[in-house]
Amino acid sequence: MTTSEETEDLNHSELRDLVNRANDLPLADRVALLKALIPLVADQMTPRDFAGLAAELHLKGERFYEARAHPGQGRKSRRVMGERDVEGR
């Protein structure tokens, strides 16, 4: 998990445990879990912030597919911007 100023106060070990347990589920269950989290997350954000989150998730997927298509080439050779690029880190 990448650490940034926004996430440095999170309980990373507990989050990692939750992620690992979720990853043990079948794909359909992981998708259902992801969808089940959306309403409360959206309720606690502004529509603009939620749209930003959706864009971040889309970008995360694009980066994953690009990295998988070009193994061993590293970030510098990729065309899709990553979180660090977007955040200016």
1 found inside a domain: no
Judgement on whether residues 61 and 28 belong to the same structural domain of the protein = no
20 found inside a domain: yes
Q: Where are the alpha helices (DSSP H) in the chain?
A: 12-23, 27-43, 47-69, 83-87
Range of the structural domain that residue 62 is part of = 46-89
Comparison of pLDDT for 58 and 11, the residue scoring more: 58
How far is the C-alpha of 25 from the C-alpha of 34, rounded, in Å? 12
pLDDT of residue 70: 82
Q: Is the pLDDT of residue 5 over 70?
A: no
Q: 41-87, pLDDT tens digit by residue?
A: 999 999 999 999 999 999 889 888 888 888 877 666 666 655 555 55
Between vectors from CA 1 to CA 70 and to CA 82, what angle results, nearest 5°? 45
